[in-house]
Structure 1
Amino acid sequence: MVEQEIKLYVPPAAREAVKARLTKLPGPRRVRLRAMYFDTPSRWLARHLAAIRLRLEGRQWVQTFKMAGADSVSRIELNHRRPGPELDLSVYAGTPAEPLFAALDGELALRYETDVMRLVRQVRVRRANIEIAYDVGAVRAPGFEAQINEIEFERTAGWVDALFGVAIDWVKEHGLVLDARSKAERGDALARAGTVLAQALPEDEARVRAAQRAQLDAPVGAAKLDLPADATPALALQMLSQSAFDQIVRNAALIAMAPAGADMAEHVHQLRVGVRRLRSGWRLLRGWTTLPEPALQEDARRFFQAFGAARDTDVLLDTVFPTLEQAGMPPLARPVRAEGDAAGMAASHAFQTWLIELLRWLASLPARSAVSQAVAGNDGAEPYAPLAVARLRKWHRAVLRDGARYRELDEHARHALRKDVKRLRYGLGFARAYFESARLKPYLKRLSTLQDVLGEVNDLAVARGYFLQRAHAEPAAWFAVGWIAARLSALESETVREVEALGKTRKFW
Structure 2
Amino acid sequence: MEIELKLLLDPVDVNRFRRHPLLKKHALNKPQSRQLNSIYFDTPELYLKQNHTALRVRQVGRRLVQTCKSGGQVAAGLHQRPEWESEVSGAKPDLPALLGLIEAGSAVARLMSAPALAERLQPIFTTQFRRTIWLLRLPSGAEIELALDQGQVIHGDKTVPISEIELELKAGDSASLFDVALELQNSLPLRAANVSKAERGYALHSPQAPEAVKALPLTLSPALTLEQGFQVLMHNCLAQIQGNEDGVMHGSDPEHLHQMRVGLRRLRATLGLFKKFIQAPPEIAMQLRWLAGMLGPARDWEVLAASTLSDAARRRPHEPQLEHLRQHAASVAGKHRHAAANALASRAYARLLLSLGSWLEGRRWRQQQSTEQIAALSMPLKKFARSKLVRLQKKLLERAKGIKRQGPAKRHRLRIAAKKVRYAAEFFESYFPFKRMRPYVQALSELQDLLGVSNDRNVAGSLLQQIAEQHPELEPHCDLALSLLDEGARLRSSKIKRVWRKFAELAPPAKPD
TM-score (norm 1): 0.78
Q: Is the 8 A contact 1:132 1:152 kept in 2?
A: yes
Shift of 1:308: 1.2
Residue 152 in 1 paired to residue 165 in 2? Answer: yes
CA distance in 1, matches of 2:225, 2:275: 13
Deviation, structure 1 residue 431 = 1.0
User: Structure 2: how far apart are the matches of 1:447 and 1:380?
Assistant: 29
Residue type at the aligned position of 1:21: R
Cα drift, residue 330 of structure 1: 5.7
Q: Deviations over 1:70-112 (max 9, x none)?
A: 9945455454333323426557767779955654551544364
* Whole-angstrom CA distance in 2 between matches of 1:44 and 1:228: 28
Paired residue for 1:418, among 401, 415, 420? 415
* Counterpart mapping for 1:213-292 below 5 A: 213-214=208-209, 217-256=210-249, 258=250, 262-287=251-276, 289-292=277-280
Residue 61 (structure 1) shift: 0.5
Q: Judge conservation of contact 1:129–1:156 (CA < 8 Å) in 2.
A: yes
Answer yes or no: is the 8 Å Cα contact 2:74–2:194 preserved in 1: no
Comparing 32-41 and 356-365, the one that deviates more? 32-41
Q: Write the mapping of 1:20-419 to structure 2, written as runs, cut at 5 A.
A: 20-21=15-16, 27=31, 29=33, 31-37=35-41, 47=51, 51-66=54-69, 68=72, 72-85=78-91, 86-87=93-94, 89-90=96-97, 99=106, 102-104=109-111, 105-107=113-115, 108-109=117-118, 110=121, 112-122=124-134, 127=139, 131-138=146-153, 147=160, 149-155=162-168, 161=175, 163-168=177-182, 175-185=189-199, 213-214=208-209, 217-256=210-249, 258=250, 262-287=251-276, 289-328=277-316, 331=321, 332-333=324-325, 334-335=328-329, 336=331, 337-338=334-335, 340-365=338-363, 381-419=378-416
CA RMSD of aligned residues (A): 3.8
Distance of 1:45 and 1:379 partners within structure 2: 42
Amino acid aligned to 1:7: K
SS at the partner of 1:381?
coil
Structure-1 separation of matches of 2:481 and 2:419: 28
Q: In 2, distance between residues paired with 1:57 and 1:299?
A: 42
CA separation of 1:101/1:222 partners in 2, compared to 1, >3 Å: closer, same or farther? closer
- Residues 455 and 21 of structure 1: CA distance in aligned 2, closer, same or farther (over 3 Å): same
Q: 1:385 to 1:120 in 2, by over 3 A?
A: same
Please name the residue that 2:367 is paired with: none
State which drifts further: 124-133 or 322-331: 124-133
Q: What is the aligned residue count?
A: 464
User: Identity, % of aligned pairs?
Assistant: 25
**DSSP-derived class of the 2:244 partner:** helix
Matches of 1:483 and 1:249, distance apart in 2: 37
Residues in 1 aligned to 2:339 and 2:294: alpha-carbon distance in whole angstroms: 10
CA distance in 2, matches of 1:297, 1:440: 31
Q: Which runs of 5+ in 1 are unaligned?
A: 194-211, 367-377
Looking at structure 2, the residues matched to 352 and 344 of structure 1 have their Cα atoms a distance apart, in angstroms, of 12
Q: For 1:116, what is the secondary structure of its paired residue?
A: strand
* Cα distance in 2 between the residues matched to 1:464 and 1:91: 62
CA shift at 1:218, angstroms? 0.7
The alpha-carbon deviation at position 293 of structure 1 amounts to 2.8
Q: Are residues 161 and 506 of structure 1, via their aligned partners in 2, closer, same or farther at CA, if it must alter by over 3 Å?
A: closer
Q: Is contact 1:460–1:488 with CA below 8 Å preserved after alignment?
A: yes
What is the TM-score normalised by the length of structure 2? 0.77
Q: Give 3-state SS (helix, strand or coil) of 1:138's partner.
A: strand
Aligned AA (2:57) = L
**1:484 counterpart residue number:** 485
Report SS of the residue matched to 1:382: coil
1:445-472 deviation per Cα after TM superposition (whole angstroms, max 9, x unaligned):
2212111111112211111112223335
Worse overlay, 82-91 or 353-362: 82-91
Counterparts of 1:407 and 1:125, CA distance in 2? 64
Question: AA paired with 1:281?
Answer: T
Provide the C-alpha distance between the structure 2 equivalents of 1:478 and 1:384, rounded to a whole number of angstroms.
51
Larger displacement relative to structure 2 (115-124 or 464-473): 115-124
How far apart, in 2, do the equivalents of 1:250 and 1:452 lie?
23
Secondary structure of the residue aligned to 2:4 is: strand
1:90-138 CA distance string (max 9 Å, x none): 5776777995565455154436443222342538686466523224322
Rate the CA distance shift 1:124–1:442 in 2: closer, same or farther, 3 A: closer
Partner of 2:427: 430
Contact (CA 8 Å) 1:144, 1:190: kept in 2 or not?
A: no
Aligned to 2:372: none
Q: CA–CA distance in 1 between the matches of 2:259 and 2:343?
A: 15
Q: Secondary structure at the match of 1:248?
A: helix
Please state how far the C-alpha of 1:221 moved relative to its aligned partner. Answer: 1.0
* Secondary structure of 2:147's aligned partner: strand
1:201-253 Cα distance to aligned partner (Å, 9 max, x none): xxxxxxxxxxx723xx1111111111012322122112111111111122124
- 1:313 and 1:79 map into 2 onto residues whose CA distance is 50
Unaligned runs of 5+ in 2: 21-29, 365-374
Q: Quick one: which of 443, 449, 464 aligns to 2:461?
A: 464
Structure 1 residues 178-211: Cα deviation after superposition (integer angstroms, max 9, x where no partner): 22232345567788x6xxxxxxxxxxxxxxxxxx
